[in-house]
Amino acid sequence: MRPASVLMAALALAATACRSAAPSPAASAGPRPVQTAVVIEARARLTEELPAELSAYQDVQLQARVPGFIKRLHADRGSRVQAGELLAELDAPDLLAARAEAEHRLSSARALRLEASAALERDRVTLDRLRGAAAAVAGAVAGNDIHVAEQAVAADQAEVASRLAAEAAAQEALNQQAAMAAYLRVVAPFRGMIIRRSASEGALAGPSAAPLFELQQLDPLRLVVDVPEAEAVGMDLGAQLAFTVSSQPQRQFAGTVARVAHSVRRETRTMPVELDVANPDLTLAPGMFVKVRWSFHRDRATLFVPDAAVARTSERTFVEFVGPGQKLRWVDVTTGFANGDAIEVFGALHPGDRVVVPADDELRPGSPVTWRP
């Protein structure tokens, strides 16, 4: 072998040996000291302010059900009314004439039914007399006479049944006309306040015309809160929640959780929740924007770590868990509620585990570390 070749081979072998013998930076540095925090288990409770809006408990546009002219109005904007209270009277001559005609037809039908009943009673008495005579003296009454009397009674019975049906139909027609005539009186369907009047006396009203009034029930009110999807848990029906309105920031009101939609709106990822709000003095009004002090909780205990212990990259969310032998391990987690400096996590962790805080993504899984609380 040439001397130059032997030298090159020896140099290569020496370099390889030097690289093999040189310690790695991690090994030469030794275990890295890190700050840690303990994973704790707690039942999450959170209170925050959510925007909401007050609305009427009931809201209805009162419209005339039959065509007619407005004869008299008994309410105006701002009138407080009770259920069943008369609000307006209409005048409809055609409707009143139709009711009178229905009453006349009922009277005629009743007279014809009474006439048929009298004929039936008369023919029944005749039949009974013929049968009695035939039974007393044989041959006193011809059999054909009894047969004719029986046929007369049967015909009378059919006539009475027909007249009864005609009278019932006439009565139903009158009831219908009476119901239509009752619509000439517009009454309040529930207790509330007239917030709008859209007609005047003498104007034409009807199903196709403008509404006469708008009536709202203002005590109680509905308070509709759009609760974020992540927070729509642990809602207790009957719970009292405090809220404030911008017009009276110094005063605190309260509502009762009454209805939960149990369905998340796709466009906002929120769930509507309704509170009932007592409003006896009408201090509050529909349309007011409020801030609700929303309180919610988990139905079971979950795990929490400091928010700084959670590392987030474009690919994963994880915590750096210090495992047995002081070896570091990345544990993927899903985050939940944030409560101050702590955040709820779901993953392969247990209460009492230690995680690095603040998280340092330069620490690689398997790295030796020494920790201090």
For residue 192, what are its two tokens? 């509330």
Is the Cβ–Cβ distance between 52 and 274 less than 8 Å? Answer: no
CA 366 to centroid of chain Cα atoms:
52
Closest CA to 55 of 280, 271, 253, 287: 287
The answer to whether residues 289 and 314 belong to one domain is: no
Task: Write down the pLDDT at residue 15.
Answer: 32
Distance CA 168, CA 74 (A): 37
- Number of domains present in the structure of the chain: 3
Does residue 258 belong to any structural domain of this protein?
yes
Spell out the alpha helix ranges (H) of 48-142. Answer: 93-136
The answer to whether residues 357 and 291 belong to one domain is: no
Task: Write down the pLDDT at residue 233.
Answer: 67
- Which residue shows structure tokens 């030469």? 28
For residue 255, what are its two tokens? 């509502």
- Which residue shows structure tokens 């006193």? 140
Question: Coil, strand, or helix at residue 76?
Answer: coil
Tens digits of residue pLDDT in 173-230: 888 888 888 888 999 999 999 999 998 998 989 888 889 999 999 999 999 999 887 7
CB neighbour list of residue 27: distance below 8 Å, 6 or more residues apart: none
Task: Write down the pLDDT at residue 234.
Answer: 63
Domain that residue 37 falls in: 28-44+301-372
Distance CA 58, CA 222 (A): 9
Does residue 227 belong to any structural domain of this protein?
yes
Does residue 108 belong to any structural domain of this protein?
yes
The answer to whether residues 367 and 328 belong to one domain is: yes
Task: Write down the pLDDT at residue 219.
Answer: 94
The answer to whether residues 152 and 102 belong to one domain is: yes
Task: Write down the pLDDT at residue 6.
Answer: 33
Query: What's the CATH code of the domain at 340?
Result: 2.40.420.20
Is the Cβ–Cβ distance between 295 and 47 less than 8 Å? Answer: yes
Does residue 237 belong to any structural domain of this protein?
yes
Does residue 4 belong to any structural domain of this protein?
no
The answer to whether residues 33 and 54 belong to one domain is: no
Handedness of CA 296, 301, 307, 313 (dihedral sign): negative
Query: What's the CATH code of the domain at 268?
Result: 2.40.30.170
- Which residue shows structure tokens 């009162």? 62
Distance CA 370, CA 373 (A): 10
Task: Write down the pLDDT at residue 24.
Answer: 41
Does residue 316 belong to any structural domain of this protein?
yes
- Among residues 246, 270, 297, the one where a domain terminates is 297
Tens digits of residue pLDDT in 92-132: 888 878 888 888 888 999 999 899 899 889 988 888 887 88
Does residue 121 belong to any structural domain of this protein?
yes
Is the Cβ–Cβ distance between 23 and 189 less than 8 Å? Answer: no
CB neighbour list of residue 23: distance below 8 Å, 6 or more residues apart: none
The answer to whether residues 288 and 361 belong to one domain is: no
Distance CA 103, CA 136 (A): 50
The answer to whether residues 291 and 309 belong to one domain is: no
| Orientation of helix 143-182 relative to helix 93-136, angle to 10° | 160
The answer to whether residues 166 and 103 belong to one domain is: yes
Per DSSP, what are the bridge partners of residue 225? 52, 273
Does residue 74 belong to any structural domain of this protein?
no
- Which residue shows structure tokens 């925050």? 48
The answer to whether residues 102 and 155 belong to one domain is: yes
**What are the residue ranges in the chain where pLDDT is below 70?**
1-29, 139-140, 233-234, 372-373
Taking the complete model, does pTM exceed 0.95, yes or no?
Answer: no
Pairing label, strands 302-306, 342-347: antiparallel
- Which residue shows structure tokens 């065509």? 67
Task: Write down the pLDDT at residue 37.
Answer: 92
The Cβ-side half-sphere exposure at 238, using a 13 Å CA radius, reads: 0
- Among residues 158, 183, 208, the one where a domain terminates is 183
- Among residues 297, 325, 360, the one where a domain terminates is 297
